[in-house]
Structure formats: structure tokens, C-alpha cells
Structure 1
Amino acid sequence: MPHLVLYTFGVLKSPLADPAPLTRELHDSGEAVYETIGRHPGYLARAEAADGGRGSHFELDWGAWGEFAVPAWYDKGRTAETTALAATLSLWTDLHSAFDAIYTGVHREALNRRHDWFERTAHPLYAFWWVPAGVIPTWQDGVSRLEHLHDNGPAPHAFTFHHAFTPDGTPARTRGIGPKDGRAG
């Protein structure tokens, strides 16, 4: 059975190393979000540094998830002191499980604060795509799919909740989201 990949990418208003209270709030809420989502039905795995190390995303060993990469539009720092981004790469059993995990509980609370932490951008913040069971997507795959979504719009290659596709490429509708009667949602 295919697995759903979710890649997220956001540019922060200040570097992760910034000691300001707002940055600390983001960091602290992120740990609670990861812990909660990790127990959610339908969640399979997420990219984590192989050695559990600290430092810049760019310097860590991500194991099977590949070398860390960012979209072409990211123009901030790449060191532990200057990195100003949040990115995730995760595997799910299905779109409904991912939707439920993202739009309920502590993650929903964090989403409500996203404009406090993240720059507003004309670029998409996430992309989904399907992979065969057993395939581990890479950070570069995520970047490629997000850039494809930005350049070409939703398609089976890279899509959103509102314009989703089944593993065979058929347009899908997730209850409560997406287009209704052919119109954009």
C-alpha cells in the first residue's frame, strides 16, 4: 500500500538561535507537536537527524532521508547561528490521518500562531505526494515537489489538501476540505 509524504517548509522571521521569547515559544511548541503527532493514528515516520545531533539542519546526518536541502527561494543563513527555517518531512498512511493530525490539538494551536513566527510568502508551505511502501523520501525530493507545486500548481506529482490526488493520480476530495462541485476550495 502506498504511503503519503508530507514536506513542509517555512521561513522564520528570526533565526532559530535567537534567544527572544517568541523564538523560544516556537521551539517549545515544536517539541510538543512532534510528540503528539508521533502518536497519531496514520503517522508512520519523520525525518530526524541520525545521530540526534544539534546544530544547523545543513550540518546534520539525516541518514536515509538524505542531505538537507531547501527551496531556491530560501535566502537566509545556513549555520547554527543564522538558520531561519522550519522544515519537516514525514510519512503517513493516508490524507485523512494527516489532515486530522495537522488541524486538531497542539498542532492546530501552533498553526494559529504561525504568523507570529513565519514570514508570509507567495510560495507554498507544504506539498504531498505518494510513494510505494518502503520508500524513504529525501529532503531533496521534498524541495523538488514543493518547487514543482509552486511552478505548476497541484498535480499527482505534488499536491495540497485542497487539491489532492489518490495514489493512482485520480483527484480526491478530503471530507471538509478541497473543491466542491468543481470550484476551488
Structure 2
Amino acid sequence: MPHLALYTFGVLKSPLADPAPLTREFYDIGEAVYRKIRQQPGYLAHAEAADGVQGMLFEADWGAWGEFAVPTWYGKGRTVETTALATTLSLWTDLRPACDAVYTGLHREALNRRYDWFERTEHPNYVFWWVADGVIPTWQDGVSRLEHLHDHGSAPHAFTFRHSFAPDGTPTRTKGIGPKSDQVH
């Protein structure tokens, strides 16, 4: 049975290494959100660096998730001191569990505060696509799907909650997913 891949990407207002209280708060909330997400029904896995330290993304060993990559529109730093982005790559059993994880509980609370931490952009900040059972999506897969979504809109190749597709490519709707569901970060 296919699994649902989810890639999220946001440009932060300040580097991850910034010692300001708002950055520390983002880290603290992020760690708590990940603990909750891991417990969600339908959650399968997410990319974790095998040897990374907080804020080290480009240099980390991501194992089966591949070499770290970012969209072409990311123009900030790439070192531990200058990186100003937050990104995730995860696998889910289906769209409904992913929706429930994103739009309820602690993640919903963090989502309501996204503009405290993230810059507003005209680029999409997340994308879904289906992968065959046993396939681990790579960071480059996520980037190319997000860029495809930006350039072409939702399609079976790359889609959003609001304009989603079943594994066979047919358009689908998930109850409770409406017009405001296109913002994950």
C-alpha cells in the first residue's frame, strides 16, 4: 500500500543559532511538537540526522533520506551560524492522519504562531506526494515536488491538503479539509 510523503519548508526570520528568546521558544515548541507527532496514528517516520547537532542541516548525515537540499528560492545562510530555515520530511499512512496531526493539538498552537518565526512568502511551504510501500523519500524529492507545486499547482505529482489526490491520481477530498488548509507553517 502506498504511503504519503510530506515535505515542509519555511524561511525563518532569524538564524537557528540566534540566541534570542524567540528562537529558543521555536526550538522548544518544535521539540514538543515532534514528540506529539511521533505518537499520532498514521505517522510512520521522519528524516532525522544520524550525526547532526541542533541547527546543522547541510553537513549532517541523513542516511536513507539522502543529502540535504533546499528550494532554489532559499537565499539565506548554509552554515550552522547562518542557516535560517525549518524543514521536515515525513511519511504517513494517509492524508487524514496527516491532517489531524497538523491541525490539532500542540502543532495547531504552533501553527497559529507561525508568523512570529517565519517570513511570509509567495512560495508554498509544504507538499504531499505518494510513494510506494518501502520507499524512503529524499530531501531532493521533497524540494523538487515543492518547486513543481509552485510552478504548476496541485497535481498527482505534488499536491496540498486542499487540492489532494488519491494514490491512483484521482482527485480526492478529505472531510474537514477546507480553504484555510493550504498553510502548514
Could you say which TM-score interval applies, normalised by the shorter chain?
A: over 0.9
Alignment of 1:165-180 (within 5 A): 165-178=165-178
Contact 1:17–1:81 (Cα < 8 Å) also in 2: yes
Q: Distance in 1 between matches of 2:171 and 2:48?
A: 31
- Counterpart residue type for residue 13 of structure 1: K
Q: Matched residues, percent identical?
A: 79
SS at match of 2:155: coil
TM-score for both structures, normalised by structure 2: 0.95
User: Unpaired segments of 5 or more residues in structure 2?
Assistant: 180-185
Runs of 4+ aligned structure 1 residues displaced above 6 Å come to none
1:93 aligns with 2:93: yes
**Structure 2 partner of 1:26:** 26
Residues 142-161 of structure 1 deviation map (CA, whole Å, 9 limit, x = unaligned): 00000000000000000000
Q: Distance in 2 between matches of 1:78 and 1:147?
A: 19
* Number of aligned residue pairs: 179
**Structure 2 partner of 1:69:** 69
**Structure 1 partner of 2:125:** 125
Q: Distance in 1 between matches of 2:53 and 2:170?
A: 40
Alignment of 1:1-185 (within 5 A): 1-178=1-178
Contact 2:42–2:94 (Cα < 8 Å) also in 1: yes
Deviation for aligned residue 1:100: 0.2
Residues 43-94 of structure 1 deviation map (CA, whole Å, 9 limit, x = unaligned): 0000000235445200000000000000000000000000000000000000
Q: Distance in 2 between matches of 1:51 and 1:177?
A: 37
Residues 55, 99 of structure 1: CA spacing in aligned structure 2 closer, same or farther, 3 A cutoff? closer
Q: Distance in 1 between matches of 2:130 and 2:177?
A: 19
**RMSD between superposed Cα atoms in Å:** 1.0
**Structure 2 partner of 1:183:** none
Residues 11-33 of structure 1 deviation map (CA, whole Å, 9 limit, x = unaligned): 00000000101111100000000
Residues 107, 136 of structure 1: CA spacing in aligned structure 2 closer, same or farther, 3 A cutoff? same
Q: Distance in 1 between matches of 2:126 and 2:166?
A: 17
- Counterpart residue type for residue 138 of structure 1: T
Contact 1:163–1:178 (Cα < 8 Å) also in 2: no
